């Protein structure tokens, strides 16, 4: 009997749920402290923050939503106006969420223990809209970036090389 208790899974659902709840509440508190224009709530185990930004006096108002589950990298979506996916701008094609950083180039692999939304994702989101407006004017993504298309081509050529070596 004692043996069974000793080997019981130490990461039971209660521990996981408590850690997740603590992480999400901490993130919510930090966002409210630094950004009073964001409306944040916990829904279905996720932190959902909705806000508006107007990069310049001449800009339109953009409505965006941050969705964070407490562990995986947060996702940011433009709610209004709808922005269609385009390879030139930094969005992910699978869900139209914003591409705010490159894990390798920016040396940032999201870690819920080390990173906070208020000093990474929120300011990067606001910056993204500035660069989006510049893109609308110039037709070129002006922010320093790694072209996703080139990365995919390089990745595909690496796969082909590895197949050739295996043959």
Q: For strands 39-43 and 46-53, give the pairing.
A: antiparallel
* Domain spans of the chain, in order of start: 10-166
Q: For strands 62-68 and 39-43, give the pairing.
A: unpaired
Give the model's pLDDT for residue 129.
Answer: 97
Contact 63, 77 (CB under 8 A): no
**For each of the chain's 167 residues, which pLDDT tens digit applies?**
455 555 455 555 677 788 899 999 999 999 999 999 999 999 999 999 999 999 999 999 999 999 999 999 999 999 999 998 988 888 999 999 999 986 665 556 788 888 899 999 999 999 999 999 999 999 999 987 666 555 544 444 443 333 344 33
Contact 48, 67 (CB under 8 A): yes
Give the model's pLDDT for residue 112.
Answer: 83
Contact 141, 90 (CB under 8 A): yes
Angle at 101 between CA 95 and CA 104, to 5 degrees: 115
């Amino acid at each position: 009997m004692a043996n069974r208790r000793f080997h019981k899974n130490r990461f039971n659902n209660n521990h996981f749920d408590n850690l997740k709840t603590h992480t999400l509440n901490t993130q919510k508190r930090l966002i409210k402290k630094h950004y009073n224009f964001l409306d944040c709530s916990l829904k279905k185990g996720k932190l959902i923050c909705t806000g508006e930004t107007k990069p310049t006096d001449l800009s339109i108002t953009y409505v965006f939503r941050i969705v964070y589950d407490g562990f995986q990298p947060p996702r940011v979506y433009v709610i209004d106006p709808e922005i269609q996916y385009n390879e030139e701008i930094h969005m992910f094609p699978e869900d139209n969420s914003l591409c705010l950083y490159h894990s390798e180039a920016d040396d940032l692999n999201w870690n819920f223990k080390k990173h906070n939304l208020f000093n990474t994702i929120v300011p990067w989101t606001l910056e993204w809209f500035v660069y989006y407006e510049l893109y609308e004017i110039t037709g070129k993504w002006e922010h320093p970036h790694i072209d996703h298309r080139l990365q995919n081509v390089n990745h595909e050529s690496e796969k082909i090389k590895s197949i050739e070596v295996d043959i």
